[in-house]
Amino acid sequence: MKISKLRNIGISAHIDSGKTTLSERILFYTGRIHKMEEVHGGGAGATMDHMELEKERGITITSAATSVEWNGYGINLIDTPGHVDFTVEVERSLRVLDGAVLVLCAVGGVQSQSITVDRQMKRYHVPRLAFVNKMDRTGADPYRVTQQLREKLGIDAVMIQLPIGAGEKFEGVIDLIKMKATYFDGKDGEKVRYEDIPADKQAEADEYRHAMLESLSMYSDELMELLLAEEDIDENMIHDVITEAVRGERITPVMMGTAYRNKGVQLLLDAVVRYLPSPLEREIKARAYDNPDERVALVPEPDKPFVGMAFKIVDDPYGQLTFTRIYQGKVEKGATYVNQRTGRKERFSRILRMHSDKREEIDSAGAGDIVAIMGVDCASGDTYASQAKFCTLESMFVPEPVIKVAVSPSQRSDADKLGKALARFRKEDPTFRVMTDEESGETLIAGMGELH
């Protein structure tokens, strides 16, 4: 697949905004799965929540990665935790993504973790779309949520859809670009149907379309001239202005729906491939190895020297799995690459494309892609390159732990096992710290909260 048709996106939100359910619907509509499971409800548990603890609690703890296709585009999708205790998982994901979907609850709106995620997106310059989920709930109010995005996050949130009804009466959305009412038919909402806007919604749709065009005209002189002259504005032109403004991190388009009731997800996928950037449109710079003040521009082309970043490590029954984003060049199975931090040469024995906890073995992967590597021994945040002392990618921001507890083995003979387990956790999770209390000699562990 061409790099221009690739999207690396994350789905982030405050806990219980329904983002794992949204991920599940994305997998269903893109043909990755043929039966939808719910996060709660006694079924097999959501596909993206593959750890036993996640299925038991109905929350997402680690970032699950999967690859899907939509209308000829490849999407690497990362579903991240919403609970503040697992915030480093979100840091890790955003560090290597090109775009994100910020999911908000239509009732709860902008909550504490939404603010944290917004700060992380701004830190890594990740363009985003906003999806107001749970429109079927009593008290759903996307207008209030959009206002909160502007006031609490200080972003230019632009509604490109309006709801048709809310709560129990939520039927579909009005597309303010097409100026059509959109409904989702069939058992699983798989049939998208466009109709004329209901007569009782026409005046509101006209008003909000004008407000949308006024917001967009701030980013396009041509659009502003057409608006002032009261001339017709072409659909493609609106899409182009939104695309440019989103990729420049100037606006956040607001869409809406209810993933649980199968409404609005396909339009969100259309927006992901249309507005969010491919790896080609992202400017990535690494630090030159010899001179950390000098920046090396990385180009997502397969014939350049390989540069990639290990952004997540998972201990697997078959060995260590290292999730890696390829920024330049390509990786090949069995080839040797250099860890820029340790200077060690390491053989990439297997390259895997992940689908949550299932895997597909591949021979090579090119620039812009996200894959899992087996057979390497590294730490989260390490840079790999095809030559020694080439460059390093800036590692991610790691927050300080907020809680400490003492741990001890249940019996002395288990001390060695405990030591190994703690060392493994420390390697997988940079927010997990292990230390010894100077006075009591006890082993202390520190992390991001009780749940952590």
Judge if 76 and 143 occupy the same domain: yes
CB-based burial of residue 304 (10 Å sphere; 0-12 exposed, 13-18 middle, 19+ buried)?
middle
Domain of residue 219, CATH code: 3.40.50.300
Q: Are 67 and 77 in contact (CB under 8 A)?
A: yes
**Closest among 111, 146, 141 to 130, alpha carbons compared:** 146
Residue 97 binned pLDDT confidence (cut-offs 50, 70, 90):
confident
Q: Is residue 303 part of a domain?
A: yes
Judge if 379 and 412 occupy the same domain: no
Judge if 376 and 270 occupy the same domain: no
Judge if 372 and 223 occupy the same domain: no
Domain that includes residue 347, residue range = 284-392
CB-based burial of residue 423 (10 Å sphere; 0-12 exposed, 13-18 middle, 19+ buried)?
exposed
pLDDT at 403 over 80: no
In the chain, what's the furthest Cα-to-Cα distance? 82
Least confidently predicted of 138-142, 193-197, 399-403? 399-403
Judge if 305 and 355 occupy the same domain: yes
Judge if 275 and 293 occupy the same domain: no
Distances from the Cα of 31 to the Cαs of 24, 68, 268, 302, in angstroms?
11, 8, 16, 28
For residue 202, give every residue at least 6 positions away whose Cβ sits within 8 Å of its Cβ, in sequence order, or none. none
β pairing state of 295-298 and 307-316: unpaired
Q: Is residue 429 part of a domain?
A: yes
β pairing state of 350-355 and 370-374: antiparallel
- Number of domains forming the structure of the chain: 3
Distance, CA of 310 to CA of 97 (rounded, Å) = 13
Per-residue pLDDT tens digits for 102-129: 999 999 999 887 888 888 888 889 999 9
% of the chain exceeding 70 in pLDDT: 84
Q: Are 94 and 272 in contact (CB under 8 A)?
A: no
Per-residue pLDDT tens digits for 144-202: 999 999 999 999 999 999 999 999 999 999 999 999 999 999 999 999 999 999 999 99
Return the higher-pLDDT residue of 33 and 77.
77
Judge if 249 and 364 occupy the same domain: no
Judge if 363 and 428 occupy the same domain: no
- Of 281, 302, 319, which marks where a domain is finished? 281
Q: Is residue 398 part of a domain?
A: no
Return the higher-pLDDT residue of 343 and 91.
343
Q: Is residue 397 part of a domain?
A: no
Judge if 268 and 342 occupy the same domain: no
Domain of residue 377, CATH code: 2.40.30.10
Domain of residue 432, CATH code: 3.30.70.870
- Of 350, 367, 392, which marks where a domain is finished? 392
Q: Is residue 452 part of a domain?
A: no
Judge if 274 and 290 occupy the same domain: no
- What per-residue confidence (pLDDT) applies to 35? 67
pTM: 0.82
Least confidently predicted of 183-187, 197-201, 209-213, 443-447? 443-447
